[in-house]
Amino acid sequence: MITMFTVRWPKALQIALGIGSGLLGVYWPPASPNPWEAGTFAYQRALCLFPFYLMGQHLDISGFVQAVPAPSSARILTVWTAMMSLLYLENQPDVWKSVTFGVFEVLETDTAPFLRYPSAPGCAEDYKLLWARYFAAVAYRTFSLLVFLLFGVPRGKTWFTEAGSMTMYAYLLHAPFVRGAAMALSYLASFDIRLFGWPPLVEFAGFMALACALNLYFVGLVYALTSQPVRSVFGIFIEPTWLLRLADQMSLSPPSKKEAD
């Protein structure tokens, strides 16, 4: 393969690029006032995701995983149930009837009560100890990921292993289907079909049923986008192995007569 350049400390360079790209992705937002309108291939997404690809490339957790006994089926089911239930524990009761953010944002959306100081004139929100709130958010996510990785992921090959190894297809191709679901929900909303005004338990059950239905839709969408027909059509773009073969052929081709002279 063609070597573009060599460096003495490639991992250190990649880590520096990863940290720098993450900072650029956060502090260099897209031109649109709405970040969700940036698009699938927006530079902000690429910059923010680059550090995670580096972590996946360089972090070897095989020894750590082998040190923990393989979880049983009952334990895996328990972890999945607990983790999925966290998606529906709303931390913003004022908006739960229209959208749910889940407990994964509870430490970031609003200042935690025990970290809030009384507001002063001209200062609506006091952000003292803000670093502690974000540190707690990162620690919570890290702990959740470790629990899910060690006790919620089967060690052997399962019926969803192949789909899980092809999630790049779902990530790059899901945007139009998400927009379609949003348009369908907007169309249904035009009929003013509401459960509001019913007892709170009925309202909550109806909204949670809709949220579960959307989750099932997206799970099915992932399986559809990682299926063999989709990979056959879009594989030339998402997995350009032909480009690597072309680079190998170019690097192995004999030099021309002019170069030999």
**Tokens in use for 127?**
């952000």
Mean pLDDT of the chain: 72
pLDDT at 94 (0 to 100): 55
pLDDT at 228 (0 to 100): 93
Q: Delimit the domains of the chain by residue range.
A: 10-59, 69-117+127-155, 157-251
* Complete DSSP assignment for 94-105: TTTTT----GGG
Which among 51, 54, 53, 45 is positioned nearest to 25, based on CA atoms?
Answer: 45
Q: Of 1-10, 76-85, 140-149, 218-227, which range is least confident?
A: 1-10
CA gyration radius, the chain: 24
* pLDDT more than 90, % of the chain: 7
Q: Is 217 helix (H, G, I), strand (E, B) or coil?
A: helix
Longest dimension (CA), the chain: 88
pLDDT at 229 (0 to 100): 94
Residue with tokens 């923990």, as numbered in its chain: 68
Phi-psi region of 123 (alpha: psi -120 to 50; beta: other; left: phi over 0): beta
State yes or no: pLDDT of 59 exceeds 80. Answer: no
**Tokens in use for 83?**
């983790």
pLDDT at 234 (0 to 100): 92
Q: Give dist(CA 199, CA 129) in Å, integer.
A: 39
Residue 199 phi/psi, 5° resolution?
-55, 150
At 185, the amino acid letter reads L
Q: How confident is the model at residue 32 (pLDDT cuts 50, 70, 90)?
A: low
Q: Summarize pLDDT for 168-216 with one digit per residue, the tens.
A: 899 888 888 988 888 887 777 776 665 556 676 777 777 778 778 888 9
Contact 166, 158 (CB under 8 A): no
